[in-house]
Copies of this chain bind each other. A is one copy, B any other.
Amino acid sequence: MTSVLKIKPKENCRWDLVSLGEVMLRLDPGEGRISTTRNFHVWEGGGEYNVARGLKRCFGMDTAIVTALADNSVGRLVQDLIYQGGVDQSYIRWVESDGIGRTVRNGLNFTERGFGVRAALGCSDRGHTAVSQLKPGDINWERIFGGEGARWFHTGGIFCALSETTPLVAIEAMQAAKQQGTIVSYDLNYRDSLWKSIGGKARALEVNRELASLVDVMLGNEEDFTACLGFDVEGLDKDHSRLEAENFHRMIESARQHFPNFTVVATTLRNAKTATVNDWGAVCYAEGEFRWR
């Protein structure tokens, strides 16, 4: 695939990847359930951030996160967790806290494991966060992509659903990245709950279609392509539980006609047999070919 994407050499770039997105404090009751636990273990997480963390700790790459945090003890705990994650924090914007969380907060994500027939459960508490208040001009993209240099930029549909201003920040970043020859990837990651109160599906479509035209590597499953980009897939079973090869191919081809800039399209596939047992797979399109695993 290295031949498909023209990635800048590392010598000229401080960063293998820079990611733009929220980093939430994840609160995890372990074997228990959120609603009856007395203890939470904490981790940090976020769709776009996880890409930067994985590349750093599994593959040893130099990565940085662009985000914002409210400057209180919870924000400092997220900072401590990001330090452990090894992801560079130079581009975290620290926002003064009002001490009570009316004007600005840090995102929290309570999650519990499923068991047997009981599904896994999440309860996110991410309204009014510092990162949702990011706006164009807040980040010095010129320094990141021009000055220090980055081989790859990643963001996604969760960050762009946080507020009215976050998609504007994403566009600003993508444009700066493309100007410097940095590869741009985007994970569609459609979340109904996030879009509901800021324009719903219509707005999701509008925002994502605009962003899509700047993307080199597009990530998302059929449901994401439908909800975010408006591509209808025939014969898709109603609860999207299984992705069929033929349909996925046809959809990608259709998407490529509208967005010829999609050099690579990929998605992971999870087939949850029970809450405890999953099958995992992945599919990738590049240069007219599909690879399944």
Query: Is the Cβ of A74 less than 8 Å from the Cβ of B127?
Result: no
When A40-B42, A108-B108 are in contact, do A73 and B34 touch as well, CB less than 8 Å?
yes
Check if A121 is an interface residue, CB within 8 A of chain B.
yes
The answer, yes or no, to whether A84 is at the interface (CB within 8 Å) is: yes
CA distance A237 to B109 in the complex (A): 44
Do A83 and B86 contact each other (CB < 8 Å), given the known contacts A73-B35, A74-B110? yes
Residue of B nearest to A196 (CB): B98
Interface residues of A, Cβ cutoff 8 Å to B: 27, 33-42, 72-74, 76-77, 79-80, 83-86, 98-103, 105-106, 108, 110, 112, 121, 123-128, 193-194, 196-197
CB <8 Å contact, B77 and A36: yes
Q: Are B128 and A127 in contact (CB under 8 A)?
A: yes
A287 to B9, CA, bound (A): 51
Whether B105 and A127, one on each chain, are in contact in the complex, defined by CB atoms closer than 8 angstroms, is yes
Q: Which residues of B contact A193 (CB under 8 A)?
A: 98-100
Point out the residues of chain B lying under 8 angstroms from A34, CB to CB. Answer: 73-74, 76-77
Q: Residues of B contacting A86 with CB < 8 Å? A: 83
Q: Give me 7 other A-B pairs in contact (C-beta within 8 A), A74-B123, A84-B84 excluded.
A: A36-B77, A39-B39, A40-B40, A83-B85, A99-B124, A99-B193, A106-B125
Cβ–Cβ contact B123 & A72, under 8 A: yes
Instruction: Tell me how many chains of this kind the complex includes.
Output: 6
Residues on B with C-beta less than 8 A from A102 are: 127-128, 197
User: Does A124 lie within 8 Å of B108, measured CB to CB?
Assistant: no
- Give every chain B residue within 8 A of A37 (Cβ-Cβ): 42, 77
A-B CB contact pairs (8 Å), 30 listed: A34-B74, A34-B76, A35-B73, A35-B76, A35-B77, A35-B79, A35-B80, A36-B80, A38-B41, A38-B42, A39-B40, A40-B40, A73-B110, A80-B84, A83-B83, A83-B84, A83-B85, A84-B84, A99-B124, A99-B193, A100-B125, A100-B127, A101-B108, A101-B124, A101-B125, A101-B128, A103-B197, A105-B125, A105-B127, A108-B108
With the chains together, A86 CA to B84 CA distance in Å? Answer: 8
Contacts of A38 in B (CB 8 A): 38, 41-42
Query: Given contacts A74-B123, A80-B84, A83-B85, are A42 and B42 in contact (CB under 8 A)?
Result: no
Roughly how many angstroms separate A84 CA and B76 CA in the complex, as a whole number? 12
Considering the complex, give the chain B residue whose CB is closest to the CB of A163: B102
| Separation of A268 and B36 alpha carbons in the complex (Å) | 25
> Are B127 and A103 neighbours in the complex by a CB distance under 8 Å?
yes
User: Would you give the shortest CB distance from A39 to chain B, in whole angstroms?
Assistant: 6
